[in-house]
Amino acid sequence: MPAGTIPAAAGMSSAIPDFGAWAQGGVGSLRPYDPGHDIVALRRRAGADGLLELGSNESPHGACPAAKAAAAAALGDLSRYPDPLGQDLRVALARGLGLGPDNILLGNGSHELLMQVAQVFAGPGAAVAASQFGFAVYAIAAQAAGAPFIAAPALGADARMPRGHDLDALAHAAADARIVYLANPNNPTGTWFGTDALDAFLSRAGPDRLVVVDEAYIEYATDPSLVSAASLLARHPNLLVMRTFSKAHGLAGLRVGYACGHAALLAVLERVRESFNVNAVGLAAAQAALGDTAHISATRAANAIERDWLHAQLQARGIAVGPSQTNFLLLDLGHEASQVEAALLARDVVPRPMRGYGLPTCLRITLGLRDDNLRFLAALDAALGAAPAGAQRANEGGAPA
Ligand SMILES: Cc1ncc(COP(=O)(O)O)c(C=O)c1O
């Protein structure tokens, strides 16, 4: 809220204290998470075709019917607090993963859990390491905890594509860190590494630091070499696996995520968990969503078809596009992307700008249904037609995907 929104009472000083200077640790200079655009304002402004929201990697397939029905039923009694332990959901999750309920910790989205891990284990003398082009929340979590942040260079950081994690560089950075965050597959690059490579990385990183493997997009993976790191928990007690219902399960609006790990680790995190952090509607819908494995399979299959199709369409236009095991593609236009971004927005198509990630020539595009993807391509073609001369040419012969 801007200073001065609340008028000073008569006779009172209007000087607003420097609250930023009061903030502890790194919070004083912390910039909040950037969601890309003011999506609500864009929705209000959108024309007859509505807004095509391709900026936040939500599922165009939505939630399964059972989850919607469970959410509706849970609305029946909003006067009661939810189960503070989310026991039924934890039991259901544990059963599916071959774990016990004590190996599951629920979060108000996995974002909350990513922050909670740093709050508990990072600090001025306990650094956080992550790969360059890793998810923005990792650096925010470190800074909020007052912890040094070590960014390990990504693979091919100086080339246009791809920009996957360099696990050797990350293992090197990990030596000085208490927490390592890595997403597999990764946001915003879409890149991934196989479970064997992760196992080797965990062995190299050693047992004295927490390795958080963020699997927000794992349900979209079709590469058989990539299975959940939950399969490695028995070998690596310092591993914490993060998952979410926001992506393939189509429940981003309800904010339900979870961490899988050793009971002794989760018990420490539990000390700072907000009571009732997952609401009753979210608990019910997530549990029902788990039961509909056919919905996830169908979502994965449809997403993979659109991923291949849009990838080919973009490459045919000479646009550099990275490999992806997620529900989005990272495009490199080969020139500063803000003009194309503005032209897409003018056509009510919302991409995710990548300036904040140090990738000013890139845009990240969530895969939609085929009609969405066709609409995106038409808007992109028009936007590129309006882009500065030479922009298309710069893309020709772009780096391989
Ligand atoms: C890699 C990654 N991790 C975690 C999250 C947070 O997801 P949520 O808080 O909705 O569970 C996101 C959201 O986009 C993400 O991309």
| Atom of ligand 1 at shortest range from CA of 247 | 10
C-alpha 354 – ligand 1 centre gap (Å):
16
Rounded-to-integer distance, Cα 392 and Cα 220, Å? 31
Is pLDDT above 90 for 396? no
Q: How far is CA 359 from CA 126, 214, 230, 380, in A?
A: 28, 21, 31, 18
Q: Residue 257: name the closest of 272, 273, 271 by CA.
A: 273
C-alpha 115 – ligand 1 centre gap (Å):
11
Burial 295-315 (b: 16+ CB within 10 A, else e): bbeebbebbbebbeebbebbe
Is pLDDT above 80 for 375? yes
Q: In 234-292, where does DSSP find H-type helix? A: 263-270, 280-291
Helix (H) or strand (E) holding 244: strand 239-244
C-alpha 396 – ligand 1 centre gap (Å):
33
State mean pLDDT over 110-117: 98
Q: Which residue has the tokens 């165009």?
A: 60
Q: Which CATH architecture has domain 37-60+295-395?
A: Alpha-Beta Complex (3.90)
Tell me what pLDDT residue 4 has: 63
Q: Residue 190: name the closest of 366, 60, 377 by CA.
A: 366
**200: buried, middle or exposed (CB in 10 Å: 19+, 13-18, 0-12)?**
middle
Residues with CB under 6 A from ligand 1: 57, 109-111, 135, 183, 187, 214, 216, 244, 246, 252, 257
Given pLDDT bands bounded at 50, 70 and 90, which one contains residue 32?
A: confident
Q: Residue 153: name the closest of 165, 141, 138, 162 by CA.
A: 165
Helix (H) or strand (E) holding 36: none
Residue bearing the bigger pLDDT, 229 or 395: 229
Taking the domains of the chain in order of start, what are their residue ranges? Answer: 37-60+295-395, 65-291
Q: Which CATH architecture has domain 65-291?
A: 3-Layer(aba) Sandwich (3.40)
Is pLDDT above 50 for 391? no
Tell me what pLDDT residue 157 has: 61
For residue 162, is the peptide bond before it cis, meaning its omega torsion is within 30 degrees of 0?
A: yes
C-alpha 389 – ligand 1 centre gap (Å):
37
Q: What is the model's pTM?
A: 0.93
Q: What is the pLDDT of residues 233-285, one digit of tens each?
A: 999 999 999 999 999 999 999 999 999 999 999 999 999 999 999 999 999 99
Write out the DSSP string of 70-106.
HHHHHTT--SSPPPTT-HHHHHHHHHHHT--GGGEEE
Mean pLDDT of the chain: 93
Is pLDDT above 90 for 8? no
Residue bearing the bigger pLDDT, 28 or 6: 28
Residue bearing the CA closest to ligand 1, atom 16: 187
Q: How far is CA 354 from CA 163, 268, 315, 332, in A?
A: 13, 35, 20, 10
Write out the DSSP string of 306-370.
HHHHHHHHHHHTT-EE---SSSEEEEE-SS--HHHHHHHHHTTEE-EE-GGGT-TTEEEEE---H
| Atom of ligand 1 at shortest range from CA of 110 | 11
Q: Which two tokens stand for residue 152?
A: 């390990």
